[in-house]
């Protein structure tokens, strides 16, 4: 549940929403939207992996 409280997670979610909005709004092509979405997913999963590292 700690992941939902991080700013990095919400920034990644915002990137995914931006990718969807620009694609469906016609302002970005499929590849530009996919690149934005991939960046958002990397942010989310990288942060998720860092939160699981041992603190010792």
Indicate whether 47 pLDDT > 70: yes
14 domain-assigned: yes
pLDDT band at residue 53 using 50, 70 and 90 as cut-offs: low
- The pLDDT score that the predictor gives to residue 44 is 87
Contacts by residues 15-20 (CB-CB < 8 Å, ≥ 24 positions apart): 15/39, 15/40, 15/43, 16/40, 16/41
State how many domains the chain has.
1
- The pLDDT score that the predictor gives to residue 55 is 56
28 domain-assigned: yes
- In which domain, by residue range, is 31 found? 2-50
33 domain-assigned: yes
Give the tens place of pLDDT for each residue, 6-44. 888 899 999 999 999 999 999 999 999 999 999 999 988
Q: Which of 18, 10, 49, 46 minimizes the C-alpha distance to 34?
A: 18
**Distance from C-alpha of 29 to C-alpha of 44, rounded to nearest angstrom:** 23
55 domain-assigned: no
């Amino acid at each position: 549940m700690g992941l939902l409280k991080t700013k990095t997670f919400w920034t990644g979610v915002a990137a995914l929403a931006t990718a969807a909005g620009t694609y469906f709004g016609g302002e970005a092509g499929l590849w530009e939207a996919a690149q934005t979405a991939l960046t958002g997913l990397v942010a989310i999963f990288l942060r998720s992996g860092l939160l699981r590292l041992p603190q010792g």
